[in-house]
Structure 1
Amino acid sequence: MRVTTCEMHTCGEPLRIVETGLPDIIGNTILDKVAFIRENCDDIRKYCVDNGIVEAEEPETLVNIQCPCGLIPTYVSSNKERSGRVRFHSVPSFVLQMDVSVRVPKIGVITVDISYGGAFYAFVSTDALGLTSKAADALTAVEVGQAVTNAIKKLIKIKHPENEDLGFLAGTIIVDRTGLDTKNLVRQMAVFADHELDRSPCGSGTAAHIALLHAKGLLGVNCEKTFQSIVNDSKFVGRVIRKATCGLFDAVIAEVGGNAYYTGRSLFTSEDEDPLMTGFTSRPRMTAHTIET
């Protein structure tokens, strides 16, 4: 097997684009294709989307990206020599529930908001969790954020109004809004999947946060806010570009902009006689900050 990839990062969050070497992925939607890979190519353990070459246009190139949540129009600043800043328009983003009380083991009762921006996230303040908005708290935040996610999953059945496959809580976003009024700045970090920490401010999480701020009356249409990663201080800029609906929910279309950079290209090969060609996983969950749930 020979697989070629392009390596990038978006505000510090690694991204690997598989270019060649995978089998044909069967399915009508991205969710169908993800399911096909999971069931038939699990040893590869990579998501794959159809891709091709898009001819650059100045000053901006439109690239439509098919994501599990739907089609995402993406605009890439470009000139004859290179691409630049990227912005995308979210799917209809909305608040599912506000001011939800949830008891988290070893923390107590906290209040969270649940919002959708391509995936569902719970939003909770650093103060409620006894954390600061410093990168030094990131390890603790992973364990605490995962505990919050687990507690909410036991309490609430998440449902998307139009697609049942999107009805799950992707993670918890821990936020510090103390700079919202004075600096027009929100600091946040997203804990998602299984104890994963997003290095970037989180694209879908930022769209969900924009919908939440709009619903709270803290962000008007076409008013920009800066969303900064607590992990590495990288920034996205976001705004509401128009109002929308999703099922019976009032929603917004959010625009999120940032930068991504190429970091290299890779060629992966395997030999048929290699007994470990599909790899193995060894990931203990023992840390000084582990919270039992």
Structure 2
Amino acid sequence: MKPELSIQLMDTHAGGDVSRIVTGGIDPLPGATVREQMEYLREHADGLRRLLLEEPYGIPEMSVDLLVPATDPQAVAGYIIMEVMGYPIYSGSNTICTATAVLEAGIVPKREGKQSFMLESPAGLVQIEATIQNGVVETIRCEGLPSYIHTYRDSIDVPGLGRVTYSVAYSGGFYALVDAQQLGFDLTLDEERRLAETAHAIVEAIRAECDFSHYTLGDVGPLPFLHYMGPVEKVDDGFYRSRSATYVHPGVICRSTTGTGTSARLALMNFEGSIRPGNRLETVSLRETGFTGEFSGVEQVGEYQVVKNHITGKGYVITRSDIVLNCDDPMVSCDGLHHILSSRSGE
């Protein structure tokens, strides 16, 4: 009989964004670091990403996180993030979901109260602080990438919209930041489709005219993301709240506000002098879910004020499952995939 090919999964979500954690079925990847393993996957085995994000197994709104052995001895596990637009080197919601899965799978045994461990992302080591109550992972607090404002209040002509004012932040990817009210949005769920269409038009206009380069990473590709900002409300001393929505791909508004989108907001608030170290911002999504970003500190790197930050959220396990791959199925493409799949004999 043909060997049966299967992939072991733990589906999770944080803030509504589904992250499909691959816990087994994939052979070790070459690469001295998780970043190098990500690059190998991107260049030589992108079929895994497509398989798990396209019919019949998935949808573009999902993300996939492949657990891999850590290459840094300080980390308990590594993970590679895969999304419909490609391979981001970091994501807050994916990190929260991966940390939750690592605990739920027993890779890190749960302990009551607070416990800390390291994960290795393609961007490097990430410090995780988990809060466990009665055996339940109640919160995950993770480091956001150092974030900064690259462009402040520029404007561009957008077909069908006119002149649009935007800023650009880097927080793990480049984000266009726009005022939702100035574009006529209240950031409610019924606006979701129009938000995606408007964001796509703005991003395409910016991409046609502008290239952005990170001060150490250099060229990280064209602008991928847009973050809608609602009004900022002061909830308490040092604690703010704002409705938010993040566009990541044509037709796709994230169900959460995203961790990197929240980090980008902190960078803008610091740039405008409206937030201080120790202050927190809760971003609230179209579905009334939220992440809380904490402004940890700032340092001047060349011309940029680089914001250190942490993101807190909660991950939920949705299902544990095996995907059985039948490469004879006309709906399934196994191209560029066989060489990384583990196999076991059929019954």
- TM-score, structure 2 as length reference: 0.74
Contact 1:92 1:244 in 2 (8 A): no
Q: Is 1:255 aligned to residue 310 of structure 2?
A: yes
Match of 1:286 in 2: none
Match of 1:242 in 2: 297
Shift of 1:26: 2.0
Match of 2:6 in 1: 2
Shift of 1:47: 4.9
Match of 2:93 in 1: none
Which 10-residue stretch deviates more, 37-46 or 196-205? 37-46
* Structure 2: distance between partners of 1:180 and 1:151: 33
Match among 98, 106, 120 for residue 66 of structure 1 = 120
Structure 1 segments unaligned to the other structure (5+ residues)? 281-293
Report Cα offsets for 1:172-231 as digits up to 9, x if no partner: 1111115358993211100013432110011111011111111111111111222111x2
**CA gap 1:174/1:81 in 2 versus in 1, 3 angstroms:** same
* Structure 2: distance between partners of 1:88 and 1:265: 24
Match of 2:36 in 1: 32
Match of 1:291 in 2: none
**CA gap 1:77/1:149 in 2 versus in 1, 3 angstroms:** same
Shift of 1:95: 0.8
Shift of 1:122: 0.7
Match among 203, 219, 222 for residue 278 of structure 2 = 222
Match among 145, 160, 180 for residue 91 of structure 1 = 145
| Equivalence map 1:50-199=2 (5 Å) | 50=68, 51=77, 53-79=107-133, 81-164=135-218, 166-177=220-231, 179-180=233-234, 184-199=240-255
Report Cα offsets for 1:88-126 as digits up to 9, x if no partner: 122211111101111111001111011122221011011
Shift of 1:232: 0.2
Match of 1:204 in 2: 260
**CA gap 1:107/1:36 in 2 versus in 1, 3 angstroms:** same
Give the match's secondary structure for 1:92.
Answer: strand
Which 10-residue stretch deviates more, 135-144 or 234-243? 234-243
Shift of 1:31: 4.0
Contact 2:149 2:271 in 1 (8 A): yes
Give the match's secondary structure for 1:179.
Answer: strand
* Structure 2: distance between partners of 1:202 and 1:153: 21
Shift of 1:245: 4.5
* Structure 1: distance between partners of 2:209 and 2:67: 34
Contact 2:20 2:65 in 1 (8 A): no
Contact 1:186 1:227 in 2 (8 A): yes
Shift of 1:247: 5.4
Structure 2 letter corresponding to 1:211:
A
Contact 1:162 1:247 in 2 (8 A): no
Q: Is 1:48 aligned to residue 66 of structure 2?
A: yes
Contact 1:243 1:251 in 2 (8 A): yes
Shift of 1:279: 7.1
Contact 2:197 2:250 in 1 (8 A): no
Contact 1:159 1:168 in 2 (8 A): no
Structure 2 letter corresponding to 1:116:
Y
Match of 2:96 in 1: none
Structure 1 letter corresponding to 2:19:
L
Contact 1:37 1:47 in 2 (8 A): no
* Structure 1: distance between partners of 2:244 and 2:32: 35
Aligned residues: 279
Give the match's secondary structure for 1:205.
Answer: helix
Q: Is 1:17 aligned to residue 71 of structure 2?
A: no
Contact 2:283 2:292 in 1 (8 A): yes
Shift of 1:80: 5.8
**CA gap 1:181/1:82 in 2 versus in 1, 3 angstroms:** closer
Give the match's secondary structure for 1:251.
Answer: strand
Give the match's secondary structure for 2:288.
Answer: coil
